[in-house]
């Protein structure tokens, strides 16, 4: 009886979607029956295939989140060129289109009290405010074999947006451009002390030391990342100029007024949903910077504060949160941080994510070979959901904010007018870039290397 009711509900839901979109799609249930919104020999843009009883019931309870959970866990197959992008695109247009047919579909897809309960429980359970939980959350995401990230992110292993000029050809060039641009905004000078929170796998600290002659202190909570960075720093002769401390953003409050410059790239998203966590992060920056010090944050952002997508919290970023830009700027003022400008880099990050997505498709066999139990089909589906879904969210509403600020407010703390050097001489065309990688090339299996040579 439960299965029959679930299947009837799913048929109703899919028929509502099918009545609102022109894209041909097909749904095949476990018993072989099907729904499709087209007739004849048309090829569907996407096919959903339910493989077991539980997946039909779970999807009826939680609809699109339930379908995606079952897809990740193997109970549903989604057949399309880019499954997440295609499914998200059809669902979004079904909700937005044909408003004359009433709000029923929006209610069905968005206002689900069962999902709200799950959201609230997950936010509470994964809350980043306790140090121990914050570290556990960070390890969940960043603690995989670093070679996985080498394959996905490129030789810089830079986990952030790139900066793409019309002539930028490669992901490594784009990453190099972005880091150089950030250094120029920070106006780095030889001998300055820079603090970076969450350096990922260590490209930017090396770059700042080698090109700008600064000293860098890195706070990062993930042991496996830190081990990788220490090896990388040593390999490139900068270990004596970079201090690496296993800690998170709140720990830098102990370093009262020690630093000339502050930078964090793609890490502010780990502050958490609650306003007290915004405050803790921004207060720590204010504590660590000298008066007149310059700071820079690169973060994804929305114009309002809200919970992160449930499936991203469950499978990818426990404790994560897309910060509210207005709330961030208002709290910066509270802690004496005077913002200089905010630059929106969302198209650059969207293009970078497309490269990462393509790298996962391209290098999946090598990733899987690193550790078949960890990098299994469920992992692949979850990460492609994350990457393809984020590409779509950038298209519609999410921003990537470069926030530049000073500690304190004085007319001499930052130039009134910036000359052309801020955006000159980016890497383009055939210009090579130094990626400071540990190996000269990404780690590839013999099979993949042979395939690459034969391509």
Tell me: the pLDDT tens digits for 379-408?
Answer: 999 999 999 999 989 998 999 999 999 999
Q: Which of 53, 48, 58, 55 is nearest to 115 (CA)?
A: 58
Separation CA 294–CA 260 (nearest Å): 7
Task: Indicate if the pLDDT at residue 130 is higher than 70.
Answer: yes
CATH of 2-111, one of 3.30.1050, 2.60.120, 3.90.1010, 3.10.590: 3.30.1050
CA atoms within 13 A on the CB side of 180: 19
Contact 405, 332 (CB under 8 A): yes
Contact 172, 153 (CB under 8 A): no
Tell me what the mean pLDDT of segment 168-193 comes to: 96
Q: What is the pLDDT of residue 235?
A: 95
Label the pairing between strands 399-407 and 289-301: antiparallel
Both structure tokens of 416 = 């009134």
**CATH architecture of structural domain 131-454:** 3-Layer(aba) Sandwich (3.40)
Q: What is the 3-state secondary structure (H, E, C) of 402-436?
A: EEEEEECCCCCCCCCCCCHHHHCCCCCCCCCCCCC
CB atoms within 10 A of CB 57: 19
Q: Mind listing the pLDDT tens digit for each residue in 410-443?
A: 999 999 888 766 666 788 888 889 999 886 554 4
What is the arrangement of strands in the sheet containing 193-197, beginning at the earlier edge strand?
242-245, 215-219, 193-197, 259-265, 289-301, 399-407, 337-344
Both structure tokens of 278 = 């915004």
Q: What are phi and psi of 184, to 5 degrees?
A: -65, -40
Separation CA 345–CA 165 (nearest Å): 12
Task: Indicate if the pLDDT at residue 453 is higher than 70.
Answer: no
% of the chain with per-residue pLDDT over 70: 92
Separation CA 299–CA 403 (nearest Å): 8
Band of pLDDT at residue 138, cut at 50, 70 and 90:
very high
Both structure tokens of 294 = 């310059």
Q: Mind listing the pLDDT tens digit for each residue in 76-126?
A: 999 998 888 888 888 878 877 554 455 555 555 556 888 889 989 999 999
Least confident residue range of 20-24, 92-96, 132-136, 301-305: 92-96
Q: What is the 3-state secondary structure (H, E, C) of 273-340?
A: CCHHHHHHHHHHHHHHEEEEEEEEEEEEEECCCCCCCHHHHHHCCCCCCCCEHHHHHHHHHHCCEEEE
Least confident residue range of 46-55, 92-101, 241-250, 314-323: 92-101
Band of pLDDT at residue 220, cut at 50, 70 and 90:
very high
Q: What is the pLDDT of residue 438?
A: 84
Tokens 């679930």 -> residue: 6
Q: Mind listing the pLDDT tens digit for each residue in 172-183?
A: 999 999 999 999
Tokens 């692949």 -> residue: 380
Q: What is the pLDDT of residue 418?
A: 80
Helix (H, G, I), strand (E, B) or coil at 351: helix
Contact 205, 196 (CB under 8 A): yes
Q: What is the pLDDT of residue 446?
A: 36
With both helix axes pointing from N to C terminus, report the angle between 377-396 and 53-73 in degrees, rounded to the nearest 10: 80
Band of pLDDT at residue 448, cut at 50, 70 and 90:
very low
Q: What is the pLDDT of residue 297?
A: 98
Helix (H, G, I), strand (E, B) or coil at 138: helix
Q: Which of 270, 347, 349, 274 is nearest to 316 (CA)?
A: 270
Separation CA 310–CA 69 (nearest Å): 10
Separation CA 59–CA 70 (nearest Å): 8
Label the pairing between strands 289-301 and 259-265: parallel
CA angle 432, 436, 439 (to 5 degrees): 100
Q: What is the pLDDT of residue 3?
A: 85
Mean pLDDT of the chain: 90
Tokens 């121990």 -> residue: 132
Helix (H, G, I), strand (E, B) or coil at 271: coil
- Domain layout of the chain by residue ranges: 2-111, 131-454
Band of pLDDT at residue 7, cut at 50, 70 and 90:
very high
Q: What is the pLDDT of residue 53?
A: 94
Contact 59, 35 (CB under 8 A): no
């Amino acid at each position: 009886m439960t299965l029959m009711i679930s299947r009837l509900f799913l048929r109703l839901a899919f028929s509502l979607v099918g009545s609102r979109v022109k894209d041909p799609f097909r749904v095949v249930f476990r018993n072989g029956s099907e729904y499709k919104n087209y007739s004849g020999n048309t090829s569907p843009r996407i096919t959903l295939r339910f493989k077991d009883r539980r997946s039909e019931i779970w999807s009826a309870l939680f609809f699109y989140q339930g379908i995606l959970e079952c897809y990740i866990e193997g109970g549903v197959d989604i057949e399309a060129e880019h499954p997440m992008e295609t499914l998200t695109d059809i669902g979004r247009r079904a909700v937005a289109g044909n408003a004359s047919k009433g709000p029923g579909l929006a209610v069905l897809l968005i206002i689900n009290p069962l999902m709200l309960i799950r959201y609230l429980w997950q936010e509470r359970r994964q809350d980043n405010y306790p140090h121990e939980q914050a570290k556990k959350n960070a390890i969940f995401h960043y603690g995989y074999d670093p070679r996985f990230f080498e394959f996905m992110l490129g030789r810089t292993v830079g986990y952030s947006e790139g900066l793409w000029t019309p002539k930028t050809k490669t992901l490594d060039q784009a990453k190099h451009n972005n880091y150089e641009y950030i250094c120029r905004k920070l106006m780095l000078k030889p001998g300055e002390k820079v603090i970076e929170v969450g350096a990922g796998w260590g490209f930017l600290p090396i770059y700042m030391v080698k090109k700008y002659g600064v000293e860098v202190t890195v706070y990062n909570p993930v042991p496996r990342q830190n081990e990788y960075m220490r090896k990388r720093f040593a390999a490139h002769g900068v270990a004596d100029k970079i201090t690496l401390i296993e800690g998170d953003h709140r720990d830098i409050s102990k370093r009262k007024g020690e630093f000339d410059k502050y930078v964090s790239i793609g890490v502010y998203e780990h502050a958490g949903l609650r306003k007290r966590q915004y405050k803790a992060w921004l207060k720590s920056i204010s504590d660590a910077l000298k008066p007149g010090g310059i700071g820079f944050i690169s973060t994804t952002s929305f114009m309002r504060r809200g919970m992160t997508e449930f499936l991203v919290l469950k499978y990818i970023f426990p404790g994560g949160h897309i910060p509210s830009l207005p709330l961030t700027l208002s709290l910066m003022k509270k802690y004496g941080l005077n913002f200089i400008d905010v630059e929106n880099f969302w198209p650059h990050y969207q293009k970078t994510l497309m490269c990462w997505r393509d790298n996962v498709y391209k290098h999946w066999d090598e990733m899987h070979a690193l550790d078949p139990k960890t990098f299994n089909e469920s992992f692949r589906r979850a990460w492609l959901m994350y990457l393809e879904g984020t590409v779509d969210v950038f298209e519609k509403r999410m921003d990537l904010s470069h926030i530049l600020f000073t500690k304190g407010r004085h007319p001499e703390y930052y130039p009134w007018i910036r000359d052309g050097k801020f955006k000159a001489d980016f890497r383009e065309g055939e210009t090579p870039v130094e990626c400071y990688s540990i190996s000269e090339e990404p780690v590839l299996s013999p099979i993949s290397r042979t395939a690459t040579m034969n391509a």
